[in-house]
Amino acid sequence: MTQLERAEKGEYTEEIRSVAAEEGIDPEALRRRVAAGKIVIPANKNRAQKVVGIGKGLRTKVNASIGTSTEIVDLAMEVEKAGIAEKYGADTLMDLSVGGDIAGIRKAVMAEISLPVGTVPLYEAFALAIEKYGAAVNMPAELLFEITERQCEEGVGFMAIHCGINRRTVEMLRRQHYRYGGLVSKGGSYMVAWMEHNNRENPLYEHFDRVVNILKKHDTVLSLGNGFRAGAIHDACDRVQIQELLINCELAEIGREMGCQTMVEGPGHIPINEIEANIIMQKKMSGESPFYMLGPITTDIAPGYDHITAAIGAAISSSYGADFICYVTPSEHLGLPFPEDVREGVIASKIAAHVGDMIKLNKTDADKGMAKARRDMQWSRQFAYAIDPERALEIKTRRGNGDEHSCTMCGKFCANNMLRGMFEKDMEGSDKK
């Protein structure tokens, strides 16, 4: 049985107990949310992995994506990137490889880390179709289900499945005269091309019950992919994106009723004033399934700094109730991420998730602790509270240490040193009130 089915029967699984302890939540409250589909726990039976809860009332989680392209295939680098993602605090990892020995790369990555690993089975299926049949549009539909089953057997924790693409959404895309940014989802564009070439319905939508039963057998979380997500600000919340969201929310409910853990994926590029509406719609239409936001990127004109544009979107998304954030790196829109990009992307998204959780969950204790440590110039405590203590210590060291009660920013003009000992007792008293 899946975590959802066991929770429905009133069982406190080992995974539920672990998440409850990690998050500081009553196990019964957590069990009820898992049973209701408001929280998912990637716990594929075929692989030992770190236990992570995603959903209502939990800390916003961060996913790091790695993977080869057809232009750069470097197994050692992908393994290194996976290790960096785990080291700097990613909660999950997605292997999005499309070049080289995709299965071999996935196996090596999964052996390197303990994080739950996600995939997009469509990528491997189309890559194999190009290799075996000469073109992606020649892919036999059965190959999709074979690859999905195989990846589940390997222990994949969650899968982005593009079930919300169907004949209706494709026709809607045509009737709205395409888009400013085109179709930016690899899985989405390849599936649309396959459907148009073969004049057929999307097999993943047409045989959704088969998809659910494959994932359910292994307790792999179904992440309903957004193949029509906007790749430009001016395409956000267009008819085809919202139609796909509606379909995915309905499918999430169906999958949940069948006993499969499900979550829904959200927009890619979106202006900040439209984020709240997307989250409200997704939560209401899906029965509060966990919402997985890709970024989201909030302006189109900052190549090289899209980890910042996405952090803005992620913080706002988290504050309004998004549960899961896919990081964006500085190389977004420019090239394949290198190891240093992975670190930047993970840290930026972790900061954004924390900023959102300060509002959503009222998690501000660490900020209060940091404030006092700065006031008292207690450097070891400051580094302990830092999201990236390694970077903080590196910067302080490179700029000179100053003395034990200052830094080189102000030196002898340190504001806190000037008033040291004058008001601390008053502050401590106010904290106790």
Backbone φ and ψ for 270, nearest 5 degrees, come out as: -160, 140
| Tally of CB atoms within 10 A around 403 | 11
- Least confident among 87-91, 175-179, 189-193, 325-329: 175-179
For residue 149, pLDDT over 80 is answered with yes
Average pLDDT, the chain: 95
In terms of Cα–Cα distance, which of 29, 31, 26, 25 is closest to 4?
Answer: 31
Q: What is the mean pLDDT of residues 95-116?
A: 98
pLDDT at residue 408 in the model:
82
Query: pLDDT band at residue 259, thresholds of 50, 70 and 90?
Result: very high
Q: 209: Cβ–Cβ under 8 A, 6 or more apart, which residues?
A: 258
Distance CA 113, CA 348 (A): 21
In terms of Cα–Cα distance, which of 66, 113, 61, 114 is closest to 90?
Answer: 61
For residue 427, pLDDT over 70 is answered with no
Distance CA 171, CA 118 (A): 30
To which residue do tokens 């992570």 refer?
A: 52
Read off the tokens for 247.
């379909």
3-state SS, residue 91 = coil
Distance CA 176, CA 416 (A): 60
To which residue do tokens 């090239």 refer?
A: 335
Model confidence over 324-341: pLDDT tens digits?
999 999 999 999 999 999
Domains of the chain plus CATH, in order, are 43-360 (3.20.20.540), 379-432 (no CATH)
pLDDT at residue 243 in the model:
96
For residue 48, pLDDT over 90 is answered with yes
Q: What is the mean pLDDT of residues 24-44?
A: 97
| Residue 346 near residue 88 (C-beta atoms within 8 A) | yes
Integer-rounded Cα Rg, in Å, for the chain is 23
What is the chain's length? 433
Model confidence over 276-304: pLDDT tens digits?
999 999 999 999 999 999 999 999 999 99
pLDDT at residue 6 in the model:
98
In terms of Cα–Cα distance, which of 11, 8, 10, 29 is closest to 20?
Answer: 29
Query: pLDDT band at residue 418, thresholds of 50, 70 and 90?
Result: confident
Q: 424: Cβ–Cβ under 8 A, 6 or more apart, which residues?
A: 376
H or E stretch at 294: strand 291-294
pLDDT at residue 428 in the model:
59
Model confidence over 307-323: pLDDT tens digits?
999 999 999 999 999 99
Distance CA 40, CA 34 (A): 6
pLDDT at residue 426 in the model:
60
β-partners of residue 160 are 223
pLDDT at residue 376 in the model:
87
Read off the tokens for 129.
């179709």
- What's the number of CA atoms in the CB half-sphere (13 Å) around residue 398? 6
Read off the tokens for 194.
């396959």
Read off the tokens for 431.
């904290």
Query: pLDDT band at residue 421, thresholds of 50, 70 and 90?
Result: confident
For residue 433, pLDDT over 70 is answered with no
For residue 262, pLDDT over 80 is answered with yes
Buried (b) or exposed (e) across 334-368, using 16+ Cβ within 10 A?
eebbbeebbbbbbbbbbbbbbbbbbebbeeeeeee
- Least confident among 144-153, 169-178, 394-403: 394-403
Amino acid 387 reads: I
Q: What is the mean pLDDT of residues 372-400?
A: 92
pLDDT at residue 425 in the model:
66
CA distances in angstroms from 140 to 73, 101, 178, listed in the order given: 26, 20, 27
Distance CA 400, CA 398 (A): 6
